[in-house]
Amino acid sequence: MREPSESIEGPGTGTPRRARVILDAADVDRALTRISHEIVEANKGTDGLVLLGIPRRGYPLARRIAEKIARSYPGFDPAEGLGQLDVTMYRDDLRRSTSRTPMPTQLPPRGIDRRNVVLVDDVLYSGRTIRAALDAMADFGRPAVVRLAVLIDRGHRQLPIRADHVGKNLPTSLDESVKVYLEEIDGAAGGPDRVQILAPAGSEDRS
């Protein structure tokens, strides 16, 4: 559980929640296609480009984006420009939230020094995960530039952090949660790729 947005009780635990699908599998795919073109555009090509996914769901998103970029721009090799950055040890809530097992960090063979890093995550919320990621990166090298791509920006930032590439801006209230389902993490049992918003039962429908 990285963001408060992910701390969702499944059915049967805690208060019942109503779920609405915001993005379906095709929407997710289109958003990632657009983000991949935006990333190359902002980078003025694929030179020095490194995509770093934040576990758990940021990494499969980063891999999908890397594959899309490689298909459109043959100069980009995912083996050289894709990695995973674990931020567990750099979080500012280690003394409060549950003790988490860290995930592996795998950087591209040439590292991140003087390269153009794009951090990829599923949901941008408080901004604290990204702050931890920036700290973690400093222990591995000094990128030329760091940008941020997220599938969902749900607002409620607690730090001066913004995303450069956003799949969908999703205004939420604090008592709602946003849940991203990806085949790579949730498996076949999780159902198709989608983004859901969960509201506490009995609350007003805002739409």
Partner 1 sequence: MRHLLDTRDLSRAEAVSLLDTADRMGEVGHREVKKLPALRGRTVVNLFFEDSTRTRISFETAEKRLSADVINFAAKGSSVSKGESLKDTAQTLEAINADAVVIRHPGSGAPQRLATSGWIDAPVINAGDGTHAHPTQALLDAMTLRQHRARLASADTAGTDLAGLRVAIVGDVLHSRVARSNVWLLHTLGAEVTLVAPPTLLPVGVDAWPVAVEYDLDAALARGQDAVMMLRIQRERMNAAFFPSAEEYARLWGLTPERLRALEAAGGGTAILHPGPMNRGLEISSEAADSDRSLVLDQVTNGVSVRMAVLYHLLTGPQAPHGPDEEGHHDR
Q: Which chain residues interact with partner 1 by CB under 8 A?
A: 86, 89-90, 94-105, 135, 139-140
Nearer to partner 1, 136 or 152 (CB): 136
Chain position carrying tokens 């960090």: 105
**Which positions ≥6 away from 18 have C-beta within 8 Å?**
198, 199, 200, 201
CB of 95 to partner 1, least distance (A): 6
Query: 78, 67 in Cβ contact below 8 A?
Result: yes
CB of 94 to partner 1, least distance (A): 4
CB-based contacts of 90-97 (< 8 A; 24+ apart in sequence):
90/132, 90/133, 90/135, 90/136, 91/128, 91/129, 91/132, 92/128, 92/131, 92/132, 93/128, 97/1
CB of 106 to partner 1, least distance (A): 9
Query: 51, 118 in Cβ contact below 8 A?
Result: yes
Query: 76, 46 in Cβ contact below 8 A?
Result: yes
Query: 140, 87 in Cβ contact below 8 A?
Result: no
Nearer to partner 1, 30 or 100 (CB): 100
Nearer to partner 1, 139 or 204 (CB): 139
Nearer to partner 1, 101 or 207 (CB): 101
CB of 124 to partner 1, least distance (A): 22
Query: 147, 51 in Cβ contact below 8 A?
Result: no
d(CA 9, CA 29): 26
Nearer to partner 1, 21 or 94 (CB): 94
CB of 177 to partner 1, least distance (A): 21
Nearer to partner 1, 44 or 96 (CB): 96
CB of 99 to partner 1, least distance (A): 4
Count of positions (residues) in the chain = 207
